[in-house]
Amino acid sequence: MGFDEPQLLKLYATLLADGRVKRDRDSEMYQYWLDRVNSGETPTAREVSDKCGTTIHASRAAVRRYKLGIVPKPLSAGLAPKTVRNIHALIHRALVDAVAWKYIARNPAGNIKPPKPRFTD
């Protein structure tokens, strides 16, 4: 048993592309709320909650934000590069310990360059 570089690179690529566990329900709630408002209705937090499958507390806070004009930014399905770099650091450190304790002969994470962080304006 052991890790090798291609497995780690595949893991990082998967995390970047589709690593987010929780769905982006804020954008879904906003779209439902906006469609109802544009059709002349005033949706309640309960209606938003029932339609989008969220808690009443989350939908109440969301409706308050939407009424103030705060529009949610859509989230990608993947994790941020910084998060993947943190995961890489954790794996690298664990494998350093595994080499020191002679569980494995070498650290495969030592030769891998984690994704670089994105800088946005």
The pTM of the full predicted model, rounded to 2 decimals, is 0.68
Alpha-carbon gap, residue 100 to 107, rounded angstroms: 10
Does the structure show a pLDDT above 70 at 118? no
d(CA 85, CA 15): 11
Enumerate the domain spans of the chain: 5-20+77-111, 25-67
Question: Which position has the higher pLDDT, 80 or 3?
Answer: 80
38: burial class by Cβ within 10 Å (0-12, 13-18, 19+)?
A: exposed
Residues in contact with 49: Cβ distance below 8 Å, sequence separation at least 6, in sequence order: 55, 56, 58, 59
| 30-77 residue pLDDT tens | 999 999 999 999 999 999 999 999 999 999 999 999 999 999 998 888
pLDDT of residue 51: 95
Band of residue 121 on the pLDDT scale cut at 50, 70, 90: very low
Amino acid at 85: R
CB hemisphere CA count around 58 (13 angstroms): 15
